[in-house]
Every structure is written in C-alpha cells, then in structure tokens.
A = this chain, B = another copy of it.
Amino acid sequence: MSHDDGTVTPAASGQPEPSPALDRLYEDFARNSTAPLWTQTNDLMPLVPTPAAIPFVWQWRELVDIARRAGDLVPVGRGGERRAIGLANPGLAPTAYATPTLWCAIQWLGPYETAPEHRHAQNAFRFVVEGEGVWTVVNGDPVRMSRGDLLLTPGWNFHGHHNDTDSPMAWIDGLDVPFAHDMDLGFFEFGSERVTDEASPPFSRSERLWAHPGLTPLSAPGPQHSTPIAAYRWEHTDAALREQLALEDEGHPATVDQGHAAVRYTNPTNGGDVLPTIRCEFHRLRAGARTPTRREVGSSVWQVFDGSGTVVLDGERRDLVKGDLFVLPSWTAWSLEAEAEFDLFRFSDAPIVERLHFQRVHLPDTDGRVPGPRA
C-alpha cells in the first residue's frame, strides 16, 4: 500500500506464511462466520478515507430532459409515491445513492398533479433551482415552492405535493435515505392520497410563526431537534449573501474566504442545523474569485443555482452552469472558481460527522500534511 508521503505500509510483513494448516484455518474462519482482520486492515482502516463514491457531475439539462419524459410515461400516486429520479453515484452501483449518506433526486410534477401524502423517519428537504407553482403540504401546512427556496420536511412529518398550475415543475429532493437504509433506521407510513390542504397561500403558517429574524413565539416549546421553519425564502438568502460581500468591500470580516460569501440554514430553536442529519448551505463567489483547496471528512452534494464557473475535484476541472449538480465524497480535494458571479446550494452530512466527532479539515496548499482531529 503506497501512501501520500511515498512510504509503503509494511502489510506484507504482518502476514502469515502460507501452509496447509493456514488454509484449513481460513476455511474454519468462514465455517464459523468469522474473518481475520490482518488480511483486510488496509482496506477496512485506511490511512485516510478512500471512498467508494466518486466525485461526479450531473448536467441539469439532461436531468430535466429525462424527468420530463418520465412525466409523460410514469404516473405519480400511491405505491410509487413520487416521480423522483435519483442521482446514482457510479462508485456506489448498484444503489442509487449520491453518497454513502445522502440521496438526491430530481422530482417532476405535471400540471395539477398531486404526489400523495406519507411520512417517514428519514429527513428530507427540497431546493428549487427554477420554476414555481407547486405547494408542498407539511403536516397540513401548505408551503409555496419558488426559485431559490429551501423547503424542509423533517422526519416523521406527513407531506405531499400538489401542482396548482397548468405548467410542470421540477426541483431537487435531498434525504438521508442511504444512511437510514444502511443503518436500518427507517420507518414509513402512508397518508392521504390528496394533500390535506389544497390552498396556495404565499407563506406557510410555519413561516408566519417562525421566520422573523431573532424572534421566537412565546407559545413555542423549548428547543426542537429539527427546524420549525418549513421554507427559507430566496429573498433572505440573497440579501444575506449580498450584505456579506458588501461588508467585505467595506473592510469588515464577513466572508469565508476572499470573495466567497456563504450562509448556513439554521434551526432557530437551537442555532444548529436544520435537520439532525443534513446541513444546508448557500455559497456565492464573486466573478473571478476562487476558494483555497480543501479536504473535509464527510460527503456533500452541490447544485449550481446561478452563474457559471468551475469546480476542481481531486485535480480535475469541470465547468458548471445553472442547475448542474456534483458530488463531493469524503476527503476529496475541492476548490471552486467563479467565471461570472457564481451561486451554489450545498447539502452535506456534516451533522452526522460533527455530532459523532469525526470532523477534520485539510488545506493541502497550506501545509501538505494530514492533520489530526481538531482538539
């Protein structure tokens, strides 16, 4: 096994001499449903993460095309539940996982269609890169979906979608389905075949109660483990990013890197992430800006919201335009470069990584070393 620093792991030196007795022992391992660690240490416990998932880019143009065709051919209703087409990381075949923890799909809803209500322990959100006209109904509260909005459906809340217009609409769904599936954490329950409230108000009741900056209803119980805000609206996200760049221009600390503004969507009841397993962020790079190269523990999915630019993934450059999605497996070296002003939505499994204390960051251009965990 060869390492970053050019040395070779002395794996061979730790291995037993082949012999008939050893063959019999290895047979008995299998017969007893056991397996030796010494033959697999390097694979099971590598020096740094060696993801099966690969960095990968999906083009929005193509996704929309196949989603539209699915809209023509595939009904949406009880049983199939959703006309959603998942991004299947080629490294994780045959699953349709984007990363080991995250599911990401494009969902398509035709004119006046309804995706029936159900609920599941898995946490979900939707992000709208274009279009409007659909309301998602979360526990009976209708939530308008418009370009740039982030819509939340925390675990075990009933939800359905209905298109209130004569145009189709597409958006992306993000869930912790792979995590919940592989860890055996999921529950599912069918609900109403129609959404329970077909109104199409401009703002959900959850927003009217909760989406006021720094203000909490006195009638609320204490901290909740998921956000009570069902929709984070584009106008607020855009304003927050614009102000960060303006503050940078005025000489004040506000941005993550030079020319790189970013916000985290947060749960107002505790200041933490919107979902127990998923972090959502929005990034804006000025035209011409580029981020330093980073490696991080944990995986994420990005979607270009506007503008154009390039992502460099383990050294490979990929140009991106509006709607394009890419996956960043754990410990992949990445940087972004903006051609025009470049807006990107990101979601990641950072809450899993951080709550279980596995977080690490590496800036290879800075020191070239793999750092230890943050103290």
| Identical subunits present | 4
Which chain A residues numbered 352 to 366 have a C-beta less than 8 Å away from chain B?
352-353, 355-358, 360
Which chain A residues numbered 259 to 305 have a C-beta less than 8 Å away from chain B?
262-271, 274, 276-277, 281, 283, 297-299
* Interface residue A345 (Cβ < 8 Å from any Cβ of B): no
Question: With A66-B28, A184-B331 as given contacts, are A217 and B189 in contact (CB-CB < 8 Å)?
Answer: no
Quick one: CB contact mask for A196-223 with B, threshold 8 Å, 1 for yes? Answer: 0000000001001111111111110001
Find out whether the CB atom of B212 lies under 8 angstroms from the CB atom of A19.
Answer: no
Residues of B near A155 (CB, < 8 A) are 357-358, 373
**Which A residues fall within an 8 A CB radius of B?**
9-17, 19, 21-22, 25, 28-29, 32-41, 44-51, 53, 56, 58, 62-63, 66, 69-70, 72-90, 96, 100-101, 103, 105-106, 120-122, 155-156, 177, 179-190, 205, 208-219, 223, 225-227, 229, 232, 236-237, 239-240, 243-244, 246-247, 250, 252-256, 262-271, 274, 276-277, 281, 283, 297-299, 329-331, 349, 351-353, 355-358, 360, 370, 372-373
By secondary structure, the A interface counts as loop
Residues of B near A106 (CB, < 8 A) are 34
Extra inter-chain contacts (7) besides given A13-B78, A214-B236, CB under 8 Å: A16-B73, A45-B177, A46-B188, A48-B186, A180-B358, A185-B353, A185-B356
